[in-house]
A and B are shown apart, each in its own frame.
Chain A
Amino acid sequence: MITLRNVTKTYTLGRDRTVEAVRGVTLEVQRGEFVIITGRSGSGKTTLLNLVAGMTRPTSGQVLLEDTDLWRLSDREQSLLRNRKLGFVFQFPSLLPSLTALENVVLPTMFGGQNGPDPYERATQLLGEVGLQDKLASYPRQLSAGQQQRVVVARALMNGPELLLADEPTSDLDEQTEQEIMALFREIHARTGLTILLVTHTSQLVSYGTKALRMSEGLIADSTG
């Protein structure tokens, strides 16, 4: 599903200062896996996720999504691929504040140009699946952090993605909500067989996945699975 071949990402911070966030990583994620990557802050987890999503260009190496080299695609093709095949759950509050929960979930459909069933109907169903059927018309400011993250999960599933990418999805949540959100990921994986790549600094969460990797200083340090 995902193949990273000797991928390096270097950030230039000043005239003479560079930081190598990801250093020659080679990685394969198979379809249907729920991979959890753990590591300390600054270990390169988020950069690795951004590389997989085509949201940042690798300094060297290749990122393949089902044999498609993301960086050989035009901006339009890459955006379309992200829209149709990838779902995202971010660490930070990522709902558009001016839209209701329902409209936020519907949002990805405006980029794809697909003529499917009524998107509002599907969004309503997804919000029901994440336990927010009574919050359709609520704005993000009217929702708790946990509820907002559930809306984000519903939005990530809106276009029926093949891969769900989650970047520290529970870092801003209390312990109980964290477990609820992680249970939601596990339930989605079990029910749909969706491939999930989740990064977190909390090593206790690895039990929710089917495969665990650890990153340290831009490298995949070890794996269990």
Chain B
Amino acid sequence: MSLGRLAWRNISGSSFRSAVVFLCALVVAGLALSTVLILRGARDSLRLAMDRLGADIIVVPQGSESKVESALLMGVPTSASMGRETVAKIAAIPGVAAVSPQLYLSSLSNASCCSVPEMLMVAYDPQTDFTLRPWLQKNLPGGLKLGEAIGGTYVFVPKGEQNIKLYGYFVTLKGNLEPTGTNLDRTMFFTFDTARDMARISQTLAEKPLAYTPNIISSVLVKVAPGENAHDVAVQIFKDVPGVTPIESPNLFLAFRKQITGLLGAMLAVLAITTVLSLVLVGLVFSMAANERRREMGVLRALGGTRNFVFRILLAEAALLALAGAVPGLLLAAFSVYLFRSLIVRSIGVPFLYPSPLALLALILGGVILALAGVTLAASLPAYRISRLDAAVAMRE
């Protein structure tokens, strides 16, 4: 009989102790993975969203900063608008290398003239764009033509149809961007020309015409020249261009990042309290169990088990229980976070990106190691104490 088998038989025969340790490992490991998945997912999501925008500064109409950020991250429809002449004013500021305007539009919900659910639509200027250009150069060297669009990961052509119908206008989906975990994944991008054409068609074919006004834009993406200080350029834009707010890239989605920081604090506090309480509980349970089993350990010593063997068998039991609890806990957490990701996004108010299978596997493995280390650490003190006892003392009532 091996040590592992004996440990397994011992834990199988002690339902209360096994259940407590199993549940502690399950809860702590599951909670830890959920926390990591949500926080890491939110952080990655914001980083990817910023990378996707690809701008050093985003200029929005004054007072609409949070609306634009909400539109980009959470899909909240926005009516941010400013005159197109702003683009030239910003381009004239020293240190600005490139400027590109964007217009935020929204499809209609539950309307027969739209074949997709309500989504954010971004019109861009293909002449000046630098946000989508890298993807287009790689995947669509000819760029987007009139009536064509690219979508985020979750933009699909309705089943059985060739095109997406928006305001009665048929758009051909030419490709999908990589996921960001933000609402950009449910956003469609097309040119200003397509937006204009869509507005024209919507006058006669849509339940409600597309609210498009020529020479009106929602934001200007700014790229700063190499060697220039983005902050200085932003200050200059603020001074020289009235009615706008420049948001520097590091400050973009600041409200969301603050929310994540707040969330991080709260979740880490809950996790820390749960972990400490669980480890104390596991320690107590093992301490009680070790005392109850003093005779049993004494018998093992009498039969030829060394002190080290007694220590190892108790730790092996703890490790097996940790493993038995942590693995389902981690799998349950990974599955639950995946299943309820939309609900989580809505509840906590920040987007998040589910990790790749490889990253998830690494996180689960990390969780298993942490649970093993935590539980065996909690069990090590009572195990050490009992292993140091004289066999005769251990066997005494």
How close is A91's CB to chain B, nearest CB, in angstroms?
A: 9
Let me know if A20 is at the binding interface, CB within 8 A: no
Stretch at the interface among A60-68, A102-110, A199-207: A102-110
CA distance A9 to B391 in the complex (A): 15
**Chain A residue nearest to B309 in the complex (CB):** A111
Name the residue of chain A whose CB is nearest to the CB of B397.
Answer: A92
Kindly identify which residue among B303, B391, B392, B395 contacts A83, using a CB–CB cutoff of 8 Å.
B303
Closest to A141 in B: B13
- Nearest chain A CB to B9 CB, angstrom units: 4
> Which of these, B10, B306, B390, contacts A55 with CB under 8 Å?
B390
B6 within 8 A of A: yes
Chain B residues 265 to 322 lying within 8 A of chain A, measured CB to CB, are 295-296, 298-299, 301-309
Within 8 Å by CB of A80, from B296, B304, B307, lies: B304
Residue from B296, B301, B392 with most neighbouring chain A CB atoms (10 Å): B392
Q: Which of B2, B10, B392 contacts A47 (CB 8 A)?
A: B392
- Using known A-B contacts A83-B303, A90-B395, determine if residue A57 contacts B9 with beta carbons closer than 8 Å: no
Interface contact A88-B296, CB-CB below 8 Å: no
B2 to chain A, nearest CB (A): 7
> CB-CB < 8 A to B365: which residues of A?
none
Other-chain residue from A50, A57, A107 in contact with B303 (beta carbon distance below 8 A) = A107
Q: Does A112 contact B (CB under 8 A)?
A: yes
Q: Which residues of B contact A82 (CB under 8 A)?
A: 301-304
**B306 partner residues in chain A, CB cutoff 8 A:** 75-76, 79, 111
- Listed stretches A28-36, A93-101, A185-193; interface member: A93-101
CB-nearest residue of chain A relative to B8? A98
Majority-rule SS of B interface residues: helix
Q: B393 contacts the other chain (Cβ, under 8 Å)?
A: yes
B302-344 interface bits toward A, Cβ cutoff 8 Å, 1 = contact, 0 = none: 1111111100000000000000000000000000000000000
B304 touches A108 (CB 8 A): yes
Chain B neighbourhood of A86, CB < 8 A: 302
Asked if B259 is at the interface of the complex by the 8 Å CB criterion, the answer is no
Q: Are B393 and A98 in contact (CB under 8 A)?
A: no
- On whether the beta carbons of A56 and B393 are closer than 8 Å, the reply is yes
Interface presence of B1 (CB below 8 A): yes
A84 at the interface (CB under 8 A from B): yes
Say how far B5's CB is from chain A's closest CB, in angstroms.
9
> Which residues of A sit under 8 angstroms from B9, Cβ to Cβ?
96, 98-99, 103
Given A56-B390, A84-B304, A96-B9, 14 additional A-B pairs, CB 8 A: A50-B392, A53-B302, A55-B390, A56-B391, A79-B301, A82-B303, A88-B302, A88-B303, A90-B395, A98-B13, A98-B14, A103-B9, A108-B303, A110-B2
Task: Please give me the 6 A-B residue pairs with the lowest Cβ-Cβ distance, nearest first.
Answer: A83-B304, A98-B13, A111-B304, A56-B392, A50-B392, A55-B391
A positions within 8 Å CB-CB of B: 46-47, 50, 53, 55-57, 75-76, 79-80, 82-84, 86, 88, 90, 92, 94, 96-99, 103, 106-112, 155, 159
